[in-house]
Amino acid sequence: MPDVLLIVNPCAARVTSSLTTAIEDILSVQATVRTRLTEFRDHATALCLEATGVDAIVVFSGDGVFNEALNGLPRDVPIGLVPGGQTNVLPRALGLPRDPLQAARACADAIANHSGRSISLGRVNGRRFAFAAGLGLDAELVRRVDRIRWGRGGRAPGAHVFIAEALKLVVERRGKLDASLQIDGFGRAAFAIIANCDPYTYLGRLAVHVAPLAEFDGGLDLVAVRELRPRMIPKLLAYLLFSHGQTRDRAIAYGHDLDNIRITCEVPTPIQVDGEDLGNVREANISCERNAATFLIPTSSDQLSLSICRNDSDDWDQVQRDESADM
């Protein structure tokens, strides 16, 4: 049987011991499973780097540890995603089920049938990202929400916290942000976002469309607002919700299917990748790695639908009953 490393982040919002056991049982039908829990930041990267000889890696966590795993993923080893976080942008953008048990069954089916999907990844100053990176306003918002998360013991806050913090940030700046970035080939900008897919993120069930042309199979898309003014805010919000207009707006620099992006900053500027704060930078060198990673996804929609429908509601009910009994 294939040898699978299951990496679990016990601090992720939806991760429990009972659910972890249920996921192990699902994967064990198709593979020999060895489970490791993350204990500190970037531990998943180290676990993947040490995972010599495994046939696949499955990660049960949120987007932060998904990103860590991708930064240590051995060449030619496929990776599976089981959503255990609050938002779970990457598995949702890949079309995987939001329910952890359904996603685990999809991974098991992909292992059994040797199926998967290869996608491009981005890099910022050497750090890989799967779906998004940002400099400036976007990264500052991530930093603020991170402070709230660690004040709550590491549990990620809900979408309402992101919305509240975004409003505070804009009000503090009085809706104004001058250009402080220089983007090679695109000129100056107030803040920049780099997307590897659409949607860029989610607020609950609501998809946020920053770069409507971005696709996992291509290069990176750049969206940079040249300067922010109060009158622009309603228009920018409409772009995010309805996913059209930003590619033609002269106030926005939009680049599609790019392999390299270089950004210099007048002052140290916050940067984030896949929702993870990487501190401040004066320069960002961003590149695309095409077909860089293979994800455990059933190759056909029929196969994925079958994995979703197989008694998962019964499994989920049993897990909930087990957890209630333990309380």
Going from the C-alpha of 212 to that of each of 190, 216, 221, 292, the distances in angstroms are 20, 12, 9, 22
Domain-located, residue 121:
no
- Whether 187 and 234 map to the same domain: the answer is yes
Domain-located, residue 17:
yes
Domain that holds residue 218: 127-291
pLDDT (0 to 100) of residue 169: 86
- Whether 101 and 132 map to the same domain: the answer is no
- Whether 100 and 131 map to the same domain: the answer is no
pLDDT (0 to 100) of residue 327: 42
Q: Indicate which CATH number applies to the domain containing 37.
A: 3.40.50.10330
- Whether 137 and 33 map to the same domain: the answer is no
- Whether 311 and 279 map to the same domain: the answer is no
Domain-located, residue 9:
yes
- Whether 241 and 208 map to the same domain: the answer is yes
Domain-located, residue 155:
yes
Share in percent of the chain as helix, strand, coil (round to 5): 35, 30, 35
Q: Who wins on pLDDT, 89 or 302?
A: 89
Q: Tell me the pLDDT tens digit for each residue of 43-66.
A: 999 999 999 899 999 999 999 999
Residue 311 has pLDDT above 80, yes or no: no
- Whether 132 and 274 map to the same domain: the answer is yes
- Whether 109 and 146 map to the same domain: the answer is no
- Whether 44 and 151 map to the same domain: the answer is no
Domain count, the chain: 2
Q: Where residue 155 falls among pLDDT bands split at 50, 70, 90?
A: low
Residue whose pair of structure tokens reads 């109060």 in the numeric block: 230
Domain-located, residue 153:
yes
- Whether 85 and 200 map to the same domain: the answer is no
Q: Tell me the pLDDT tens digit for each residue of 109-147.
A: 999 999 999 999 999 999 999 999 999 999 999 999 888
**Cα(316)–Cα(234) distance, rounded to whole angstroms?**
41
Secondary structure E strands in 9-144: 32-37, 56-61, 79-83, 117-124, 127-129, 132-135
Q: Indicate which CATH number applies to the domain containing 190.
A: 2.60.200.40
- Whether 144 and 273 map to the same domain: the answer is yes
pLDDT (0 to 100) of residue 205: 84
pLDDT (0 to 100) of residue 153: 64
The pTM (predicted TM-score) of the whole model is 0.87
> What's the whole-number average pLDDT of the chain?
89
- Whether 53 and 186 map to the same domain: the answer is no
